[in-house]
Amino acid sequence: MFSGAGNGVVRIWSTEHGTEVAQLTGHRAYIKALAFDPVHRRLVTGSGDTTVRVWETSSLADRMRSRQEYTAIATRLAARVEALAARLGAAEAARVLAADGELTEREREIADHLCWARELRGQ
């Protein structure tokens, strides 16, 4: 579901959860009109700034699926990463997880992100 705001931002909402999942920016004034083409998965918006924009939403849907997958994996690995990093430090935890043959390549990549995010936070 899409909505337009007075500040020119188009919001994309999850109809399943009722939460905002993304924002499209580019207009300089209020959103005056929205139209969605479900066949080509394009959103067309018109603004009070007299511009019309065409948004390609299929790539957005792919990014959203990827983001949901990332969040699910990160949530599943977070406690393990925190425990290892607390005991060994973030750099060593990243090395241990990178060598873990039970994790998929994607899981190892996300575990590495979590380790380095922890390091950047100074933990």
Its pTM stands at 0.51
Cβ atoms of 70 and 110 closer than 8 Å: yes
pLDDT means over runs of 10, the chain (123 residues): 91 82 89 90 92 85 76 92 92 92 91 87 73
What pLDDT score does 123 carry?
63
Q: What is the pLDDT of residue 100?
A: 93
Query: What pLDDT does 14 receive?
Result: 79
The per-residue pLDDT for 82 is 92
- Residue-level pLDDT at 61: 66
Describe the crossing of helices 58-88 and 90-98 by its angle, rounded to 10 degrees: 120
Other C-beta atoms lying within 10 Å of the C-beta of residue 21: 15
Q: Which amino acid is at 106?
A: R
